[in-house]
Structure formats: C-alpha cells, structure tokens
Structure 1
Amino acid sequence: MNDKIMLIQVFVVLFLCINLLLITTFFSKEVFYSTMRYVLFAVTLMSDCMFLFLADLLLILNLYRFTIQRWLCLIIYIVVSLYSFVTPVTLTAMTLERYVAICLPLRHAELCSTRSTLHGILIIHSLSSLPCVVVLSMFFASASSASYTHVPRCSAEIFLIHTWQGHLRSAISQFYFLIMCMTIVFSYVKIMRAAKAASGEDKKSTWRGLRTVGLHALQLLLCLIQLWCPFIEAALLQINLMLFINVRFFNYITFFLAPRCLSPLIYGLRDEMFFHALKRIALCGLRKKH
C-alpha cells in the first residue's frame, strides 16, 4: 500500500508542476487572457490543481486515520465538490466555443468576447456549486448537534445521513453529465458536418477542432466513470479486501488523475501558439539554471 501511495504522490506532484508551468505560460501573453478558449483552458488548469491537491490531502488523512474537526472537513468537501464539477462543466463550455468558432464564425467575436467569457466563468461556477448546495442543505436539515464534532474519516459520505440522500446526489450528478454528453455529441455532429462541407485550409482547421472535441468527450467520459467508482468499490469490499485496494488504486489513477492530465495535452501541447510560448518559458528556465 505504501508503494502505491508513493506512486500517487509522484503523479500528483508531476501533474501539479506541469499545470503550474502551463498557468505561468497563460499569463505570459495578453492574447491568451483575452481569448475565450485560453481563458477556459486556464480555468480547467486551476480547477485541476485545486482538486488534485485537496483530493490527495484527503487520501493521506484517511490512510493514516487523522481526526479533524467537521467544520474543516466541511470546507475541504465544499472545495473538492465544487472543482470536481468545474472541470467537466468548463470542458462543455470549451466544446461550445469550438462549435461557435467553426459552425458560426461570423458570430464568434460577439458570443466569445471578454465580457462573455467572464459571464461564462460565473455561470460555470454557479452550476458547479449546485450539487454541493443540495447535499449540504439536506445535511443541515437532518443532522443533530452531535454531528458537528470531530470526524474519524473526512469524506463526502459523512454528509449523507440517509440512503435517499446518496441516491439524490447520484441522480443530480448523472443528470449533469447527461446534459454535458448531449452537448458534446451535438457539437461533434455539427462540426463533423462542417468538416465535410469545408475545403482547403478551412477543412484542416475544422478537422483539428473535431479532434479537440473528441478529446473533450474522452475527458468527460473518464469523469463520468468516476461517479460509478464508489458503487463498484463498495461491492468489492464485501468480497475481498486486497481486490478492493487494487481496484481503488486503479480507479484513482485512471478516473481521478488521468482526466486531469489530458487538459495539458489538448491545449498545452496541441495548440501551436501556446506550445511555442510554453517552450520559450521552459527553455528560459533551463538557461537560468545553467
């Protein structure tokens, strides 16, 4: 188990360093923080950093059985819950931005202005906070005064007192991801039609946008499977403890960490302008060390 935890720490530190380098690159040029797709990309990077750090902190706290105050656990839960939704909701917004850029190019400047981007970020965080607000409202309505003391294990489950609350939380999550999946499929179909109708340079750009939407769909699928992991793990725990530990480790790497490392691949490395700026900053850093 210690070897697995050490491997997870290596992955988390590596992803955090990569994301922080990409965030530094984002602030290096005005064109990045004045263009909607780059701003939304930066939102996913910051969201992923926050989620990775706090999720790893919870993993360590629970592994070594640290006892913390429930109010502190509540704060951690709110942030983790918020940013577990911010990333997929932002991915959906980025897909819509690609749809507008390719299928409605004449309206792109109007719909994807700096003002619209700020409004979009507010909407993303508002939508992402709703599941957490529902869960905490149910908890405060049902909890007794004894529920506000120390907790032996900080997790989302301690805020679900009744079974139906867990079912409602799961239903809300599934509804969110159903809407997101429908949005991505709609955008993918529309962009594919535009790609077939385009010619020359437009065709090349359109197919690149289609591949980007496809990678967003893969990220979203991994985030969706993450919701099913607790049900699978609970069933395996009743069968075999070692199997449960191995499957939980696999789920954590594949469905918690992997979706968070795809964002750098999609925009950090595939986007030519961003990649050149990233390479320049990385090379400058190496030169300073020498």
Structure 2
Amino acid sequence: MAANNSLNGGKSSLKNINGRVVFVQVLVLVFLCINSLLIMTFFMKDCFCHTAVRFFYTTMRYILFAMTLLSDCLYLLLTDILLILSYFHFTIQMWFCLMIYIILSLYTYLTPVTLTAMTLERYVAICLPLRHSELCSTSSSMHCILFIHGISCLPCIAVLSIFFKSATHGFFIQRNVCSVEMFIIQKWQGHLRSAISQFYFLLMVSIIVFYYVKIMKVAKAASGENKKSTGKGLRTVILHAIQLLLCLIQLWCPFIEAALLQTNFLLYINVRYFNYITFILAPRCLSPLIYGLRDEMFFHALKYYALCGLYKKPLDF
C-alpha cells in the first residue's frame, strides 16, 4: 500500500512538472509572438506609416524600446532552451554552456540598465523639454546603446575573469547540464557576484526614485495640456519602476535558489518555477504594455500593421 501511494505520488508530481513546463512554453510563445510583432512594427516600411517609421527611427525612447524587445526575445529564447535541456537532463560541453552564460549574463543586466536609461529620457522630455532634441538625438541614442552594453558587460567580465583563473582546461570539454552555478567554483566567487548584483540594484533603484521625485514635482506644477502630458510621463515612469524592480529582484534569485537547493529540493523546484514566471517572464511582458499599447502613435502603427493595412486612421505628429 505504501509503495502504491509512493508511486501515485511520484506520478502526480511528474504530471505537475510536465504541466508547468507546457505552461511555460505557452507563455514564452505568446510573449515572443507579441514582441516579434512589435519589432516588425518598428522596422516596417509601409507608405502609410512612412512618417511614423522615420519618427520611430529618430526618437530615443522608441530606439531603446526596440533594443529592449530584441534583447528580451533573445533572453526568453535562451532561458527557455536551458529550461528544456535541464528538464530532460540533456548535457552539453561546458565551453558551449559558457557561451550561453556570457550572452545571458549580458542580457540579464541589459534590460534593467535600458529601463533606467528610458527613465532618464522621460526626465529630460518632461523636465528639460527645450534640450530634449539635443540630448536625445539619434547620435546620442547610438552612444547611449554602446554605453548600456558596456555597463551591462562589466559584471560578466568581473565574474569570468576570476573563473578563468580557477578553471582547468579539462573543465571546458566536460559534458554536464548547463547551469549558471557551474561557473562558481569557489564560495567567495558567489559572494562577489552577489555584491555586484546588489550594487547594481541599489544604484538603479536610487536613480529611478531620484528622477521620479523630480518628475513628480514638475507634474504638480504643470497645468492644462502640460499636466496631462506630464501625468502620462509620470505613469510611464511608475511602470518602468515596477518592471525594473522585478528585473532587479531576478538578480537575487540565484542566491535564494542555491540556498534552497542545499536544504529542500522540492521547495527549490517550486521556488525556481515561481521566480521564472514572476521575475523573468513577467517583466518582459510589461514592455509591450508600456509602449506597444499605451503609446498612442506606436499603437496606431501596430494596429495598422496587425490588420494588414485595413486600419487607416491618420497619425498625428
């Protein structure tokens, strides 16, 4: 009887895990489809939206938005592949896992850093409108993208430079299930990664809060149309703050999961699943909400493209 109960419990647990994996695949597919549609809208060249396309290409917030969508798509795809490989216990050589880790490490920080830059852009647009065209020009956008990538690379460079000194040549040709924890050989390396993550967390939260207060002061002093525009910008910053908070909490997830792995494996599985849904998938579905649906100009262009040109409401600039 006990054996039967154990067998039934094991089958129930396996069925539950299977259901979770399928649910994640559905979510990832939906988010990838939505993000892909938004990316195509940004790059479309239809004559009806030709003016909008030029405007998207020359406006910093849309350029940063498109970069966020591209990075989110790649990040979701790679994390989902690792999830499937881990679920089926499929092993790969560590040098290939290292390449995946480098890309994921970059894009883990790229989204929150970009969100911080987008908040700064909103601050300039609302609080320094006369200098917005100068500070947020197309060339400034390109410089900003390079700076964002540079800042996002630093944690990966710091962790890997220490890892390469500790790892042996044989490590790279071993086959194992790919995991971030594979590159933390010494315990103090994990502490270093934790310190870097917390530093980024505190820095970006401080920037968001500081400029939110600045924008709020301008919003209170504004009147009429300016008040409406400023209020919309303030709500955008709030959504950025929520999205950024979820992304930054993700930086702490590996340390929580590593601690649980040593104590309770079932709890580790449940918490890891919750973290993936809440702190990886959820922040990356907020981008379409913030700019794909709330931004009137981008929404009209998106609706026109999604309906294959049947929607022909003129775009106001």
TM-score band, normalised by shorter chain: over 0.9
For the pair 1:22 / 2:38, whether they are aligned, the reply is yes
What is the alpha-carbon distance in structure 1 between the residues aligned to residue 127 and residue 199 of structure 2? 27
Q: Which residue of 2 aligns with 1:42?
A: 66
Pairing 1:75-90 to 2, within 5 Å after superposition: 75-90=99-114
Q: 1:4 to 1:137 in 2, by over 3 A?
A: same
Q: 2:141 aligns with which of 117, 125, 128?
A: 117
- CA shift, 1:71, in A, is 1.4
Pairing 1:183-198 to 2, within 5 Å after superposition: 183-198=207-222
- CA shift, 1:24, in A, is 0.5
Q: Which residue of 2 aligns with 1:234?
A: 258
What is the alpha-carbon distance in structure 2 between the residues aligned to residue 198 and residue 13 of structure 1? 42
Q: 1:272 aligns with which of 282, 296, 315?
A: 296
Question: Rg bigger for which structure?
Answer: 2
What is the alpha-carbon distance in structure 1 between the residues aligned to residue 30 and residue 196 of structure 2? 32
What is the alpha-carbon distance in structure 1 between the residues aligned to residue 275 and residue 64 of structure 2? 27
For 2:292, give the aligned amino acid: G
- Per-residue CA distance 1:170-214 (angstroms, 9 max, x = gap): 111111121111111111000000001111000000010001010
What is the alpha-carbon distance in structure 2 between the residues aligned to residue 198 and residue 120 of structure 1? 29
Q: Is contact 2:93-2:176 (8 Å) kept?
A: no
Q: 1:163 aligns with which of 182, 187, 191?
A: 187
What is the alpha-carbon distance in structure 2 between the residues aligned to residue 125 and residue 27 of structure 1? 21
What is the alpha-carbon distance in structure 1 between the residues aligned to residue 240 and residue 222 of structure 2? 22
* TM-score (ref. length: structure 2): 0.88
Secondary structure, counterpart of 1:161 in structure 2: coil
Pairing 1:71-220 to 2, within 5 Å after superposition: 71-220=95-244
Secondary structure, counterpart of 1:250 in structure 2: helix
- Unmatched runs of 5 consecutive residues or more in structure 2: 1-16, 45-52, 312-317
Q: 1:237 to 1:69 in 2, by over 3 A?
A: closer
Q: 1:4 aligns with which of 6, 17, 20?
A: 20
What is the alpha-carbon distance in structure 2 between the residues aligned to residue 19 and residue 214 of structure 1? 21
What is the alpha-carbon distance in structure 2 between the residues aligned to residue 144 and residue 236 of structure 1? 28
Q: 1:157 to 1:285 in 2, by over 3 A?
A: farther
What is the alpha-carbon distance in structure 2 between the residues aligned to residue 7 and residue 185 of structure 1? 35
Secondary structure, counterpart of 2:208 in structure 1: helix
Q: Which residue of 1 aligns with 2:12?
A: none
- CA shift, 1:144, in A, is 1.5
- Per-residue CA distance 1:18-69 (angstroms, 9 max, x = gap): 0000001111212111110000000110010010000111111111111111
Q: Is contact 2:124-2:132 (8 Å) kept?
A: yes
- CA shift, 1:244, in A, is 2.5
Secondary structure, counterpart of 2:148 in structure 1: helix
Q: Is contact 1:62-1:154 (8 Å) kept?
A: yes
Question: More deviation in 25-34 or 7-16?
Answer: 25-34
- CA shift, 1:238, in A, is 4.3
For 2:78, give the aligned amino acid: L
Q: Which residue of 2 aligns with 1:248?
A: 272
- Unmatched runs of 5 consecutive residues or more in structure 1: none
Q: Is contact 1:67-1:150 (8 Å) kept?
A: no
For 1:114, give the aligned amino acid: T
Secondary structure, counterpart of 2:57 in structure 1: coil
Secondary structure, counterpart of 1:32 in structure 2: helix
